[in-house]
Amino acid sequence: MVSPALGNEPQPSPEPSAQPGTSKVALAAKISLVVVLVAELMNVLDHSVVLNAIPTLQASLGATPAQVQWLTAGYGLALALGLVTGGRLGDAYGRRRVFLMGTAVFTTASLLCGLALGPGMLIGARVLQGAGAAVMIPQVLATLHVTFDGEHRSRAFSLYGAVLTVGSVLGPVLGGVLTGADLFGLGWRTIFLINLPIGVAVLLGGWKFITESTAPKAERLDLTGVLLSALAVVLIVFPLTEGHAHQWPLWCFAMLAAGLVVLGVFLRQQRRRQDDAPLVVLALFRDKAFSGGLSAQMTFGLLSGMFFITWTLFLQRGLGMSPLHASLAFVLLTVGEMAGVLITMKTAGRYGRRLPQAGALIALVATAAYGIQISRGQADLALLEMALPLLLLGLAFGTIGGPLADLSLSKVPHENAGSASGLFNTSIHLGMALGTALTALVFFSATGGSPDATVNRDAFTHVLWWIGAAFAAMWALMFLLPTRTGNQTD
């Protein structure tokens, strides 16, 4: 698969040059980068913006615990299903055109979310949002990969990491603030309606500054691969999400088994099509950095999906905080993340895998300290007392996101940038969907949806053990990443 680019002409340097006209090309590339990163931020915010609004939203619409899970899992699942396909569509039909189409769908779905009359309509609109994002997002990482080199590339990936990690934390803050403010009497609906002006701005900016580009030799879409991959993901994730609500009947295990069978059929079908425009370029997995990075990224998504939704419920139900008060805890996490992002930008990839590995170890220590603190403090735990573990946890998130993407894609050939970026994006969003689904096993199975403070505190403490184990697994997987970035070798 050929690499996505900002245009069909040679890629401009991200730094202004003395040559006539080059500085204008570089400026246009930078502005287009801002546009796609704002789109990525909008996607990340909407994955987590519902978290602090869950109690209010649940009371307003009468949503069940399973329906609450699908407000995030439905979005993440639809996104994960379509990312690789979205990248292929951009190559074949024009990346700007497909980007704008996805943005339009996402923005329209946001309006439908804000107008939802019941949990079913809201879940459906969230799934449509995820589908729109799946078409919109695949261009981001590929553009970074093929446009920037050396230290500039590492800094660009640091900005991507900032968007990815800080956005996931700011989402709940924004949700809490908007829900508590109750602007125009709209309550939780404003967390979706705020996307309308942002979406319009992205559409206008994309139309003006992103140069249209297609693959020199457009590849036809592997429809069989699309259907098989989508079916496999649904058969695996759906029973994990719904199993607890139905007391794990036989059909859940049958779906899981069928999902694994379909996944095997998909891989076999892809092997046969490797010379005939496959959906997934399997040769990418021969690179240990890519396969290890993909596994670490999925683990990162899984622990994020488990942590943020259960942490929100712990703060509000376990400690009795209001949505606005709980958002201050997310602010502490954000401050730590910004510090981590500044470190990654200053170091510009010089420490290779050692920086995100250090972040994983810091996160493991902070998670353990937080769990001990909760066990000892119980209902009297104050926000100020949480500051240190939360700042450290945020610092760790900030030093993992950008470098992990940079190192994982560092050895991917430019002609496979689209396929690689689609798979990398898919891994974290699929991980988030799986992590959200697993909350049924490790959190909701313990609380039963009860608002009792003690029950929710104990359940969240149990979740933290899972989070710590996931950080330990990430640290180990990062040994597969290169020790250097850019054009340097191990």
Whole-Å CA distances, 141 to 4, 159, 212: 9, 11, 17
User: What single-letter DSSP state applies at residue 12?
Assistant: P
The pLDDT of residue 16 is above 60? no
Residue ranges of alpha helices (H) inside 94-222 are 95-114, 119-136, 139-147, 150-181, 190-193, 195-209
CB of 372 closer than 8 Å to CB of 207? no
- Compare 315 and 48 and report the one with higher pLDDT: 315
pLDDT in tens, 74-113: 887 788 788 878 877 777 777 788 889 999 999 999 999 9
pLDDT of residue 219: 64
CB of 147 closer than 8 Å to CB of 6? yes
Q: Sorting pLDDT into bands at 50, 70 and 90, what band is 362?
A: very high
pLDDT of residue 100: 92
Q: Is 277 left (phi over 0), alpha (psi -120 to 50) or beta?
A: left
Q: Sorting pLDDT into bands at 50, 70 and 90, what band is 488?
A: very low
pLDDT of residue 357: 93
Whole-Å CA distances, 187 to 59, 74, 177, 191: 12, 22, 10, 8
pLDDT in tens, 152-200: 777 777 788 778 767 776 777 787 778 777 788 788 888 899 899 999 9
**In 10 A of CB 454, how many CB atoms?**
11
CA-to-CA distance for 255 and 273, rounded, in angstroms? 27
pLDDT of residue 12: 38
CA nearest neighbour of 298 among 471, 164, 474, 427: 427
Q: Which residues of 319-339 are buried (b: 16+ CB within 10 A; e: fewer)?
A: bebebeebbebbbbbbbbbbe
Share of the chain above pLDDT 70, in %: 86
Residue type at 152 in one-letter notation: H
Q: Sorting pLDDT into bands at 50, 70 and 90, what band is 222?
A: confident
pLDDT of residue 472: 95
Q: Sorting pLDDT into bands at 50, 70 and 90, what band is 20?
A: very low
- Compare 260 and 452 and report the one with higher pLDDT: 260
The pLDDT of residue 5 is above 50? no
pLDDT in tens, 37-51: 898 888 888 877 887
